[in-house]
């Protein structure tokens, strides 16, 4: 059983965001498998994929916020930027030093759990009341 499985608690109700979040979960699951297999090359490749997907997904989500005139856009964008910086830092450390991969996995999952259930749901709540 994976540490992360898509479930209704992640749903924002904005299908573009939910579909991308599902892909994000599937990448985390593949990362988990590669870590369990101690396949360092695959771990590195999947983390690069995760970083690039996060970058794409954040831009996509930010464009939805702009389109919907979401008032906390700047704040939310800063949270995205901070995660990208943290992920890039961790990848850099992985290349040159020891990093605990289980902790890295837990960090990514905790971030996804917190961010989608709190910050991303604020976007969908705003959009829902806007078109009520």
Q: For binding to Fe ion (CB under 5 A), which residues are involved?
A: 61, 120
* Shorter beta-carbon distance to Fe ion: residue 20 or 32: 20
What's the distance, Cα to Cα, between the start and end of the chain in Å?
39
d(CA 46, CA 22): 16
Q: Which is nearer to Fe ion, 11 or 61 (CB)?
A: 61
* 32/120 with CB nearer Fe ion: 120
Helices (H) and strands (E) in the chain, counts: 5, 0
Give the nearest distance from C-beta 33 to Fe ion in angstroms.
25
| Listed residue (120, 108, 130) closest to 25, CA to CA | 108
Report yes or no: 132 and 26 within 8 Å, Cβ to Cβ: no
Least separation in angstroms between residue 75's CB and Fe ion is 11
| Least CB distance to Fe ion at residue 119 (A) | 5
């Amino acid at each position: 059983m994976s540490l992360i499985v898509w479930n209704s608690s992640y749903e924002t109700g904005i299908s573009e965001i939910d579909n991308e979040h599902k892909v994000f979960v599937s990448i985390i699951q593949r990362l988990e498998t590669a870590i369990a297999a101690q396949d360092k090359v695959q771990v590195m490749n999947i983390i690069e994929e995760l970083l690039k997907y996060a970058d794409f997904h954040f831009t996509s989500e930010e464009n939805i916020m702009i389109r919907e005139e979401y008032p906390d856009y700047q704040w939310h964008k800063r949270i995205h930027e901070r995660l990208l910086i943290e992920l890039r830092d961790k990848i850099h450390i992985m290349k040159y030093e020891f990093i605990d991969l289980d902790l890295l996995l837990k960090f990514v999952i905790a971030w996804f759990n917190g961010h989608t259930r709190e910050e991303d749901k604020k976007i969908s709540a705003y959009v829902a009341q806007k078109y009520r």
